Amino acid sequence: MEKRATFSSTTIGLVFVAPMLLLIFVFFYWPSGQALYWAFTLEQPWGGGNQWVGLQNFQQLLSDPVYWNSITRSLVFGVASTAIAMGVALVLALFTDRELRFHRAYRSIFVWPYAIAAPALGLAFRFILAPEAGLLSVLNSIWPNIWNPALDGKDAMIAIVIAFSWKYIGYNFIFFLSALASIPRSLIEAAAMDGAGPARRVVDIQLPLLTPTLFFLLVINITESFQDSFGIVDIMTQGGPARATELMVYKIYFDGFKGLDYSGAAAQSIILMGLVVLLTIVQFRFIERRVHYK
């Protein structure tokens, strides 16, 4: 039988739990409660009290086409970055799982990008994708101004999608490789003996057994694309040009800290949280039914 640790006194257990509960309250519940309260009030920029306005902040947001554009851009960014990050990571994991030459080195190298902080990553890609001296500057020497994230909104969106996807390829790679390692080799070998090629083995055996991992990573990547993209957008584009990369999370920061619209920013944060919850529910409701658990 398993031995479980027990405390002779309830007080001792509470003492050990208290620091974590305090951190959760201070950095999660208290800010969330404040944001919820501010969302229904008119908060003064320089203090001096607030006024209860009910749903006025939400009505103003939902009637603002600029805010709806930020929602659309966030959805496009989330879908594009998730598709690229998961697709590339799956291909890399499949090649690494086949134990090609230098596969042990690949396992370490592919994980490194996830350890880089988003602002540092954004700064690096800002130079890498710079139109005047970056890797794509050769395109401008052939076709002038074909690539310019500083002036072209589509180029700017492509740049932040590439940067964010590159960061999460390593994260997805870890899970895909672990899931592939858990598939019995006897199944792969039996399929190979029956004449199934590598592509057929991937489609008929490996992908169906990877669906739990695929579903988990889909939820995580979609959620993180709405929350963890601020650092990259702030460093690379600052929401520009002409708000072409102003995602929901960046608009919260811009309106709250630069526009001093604390109530509006609080309402935006509530809508963002609700949208993430809604997307998660939709994924569990309509996508999980296709998952084949072992």
pLDDT one-digit tens code per residue, 67-125:
999 999 999 999 999 999 999 999 988 888 776 566 667 667 777 777 788 888 898 99
Q: Is the dihedral of CA 35, 274, 221, 74 positive or negative?
A: negative
Confidence of residue 248 (pLDDT cuts 50, 70, 90): very high
List, as own/partner pairs, every contact residues 289-293 make where C-beta atoms lie below 8 angstroms and the sequence separation is at least 24, other chains included.
290/211, 291/211, 291/212, 291/214, 291/215, 292/208, 292/209, 292/211, 292/212, 293/212
* CA atoms within a 13 Å half-sphere pointing along the CA-CB vector of 106: 17
Confidence of residue 5 (pLDDT cuts 50, 70, 90): low
Q: Which SS3 state, helix, strand or coil, does residue 192 take?
A: helix
Residue-wise pLDDT tens digits, 12-37: 778 888 999 999 999 888 988 888 89
Q: What is the pLDDT of residue 197?
A: 79
Helix axes 262-282, 207-227, angle to 10 degrees: 170
**DSSP bridge pairs for 41:** 52
Two tokens, residue 9: 């006194």
Please say whether the beta carbons of 206 and 180 come within 8 A.
Answer: yes
User: Per-residue pLDDT for 172 more than 70?
Assistant: yes
List of domains in the chain: 59-290 (1.10.3720.10)
Single-letter amino acid code for the residue at 274: G
- State mean pLDDT over 149-162: 93
**DSSP bridge pairs for 51:** 42
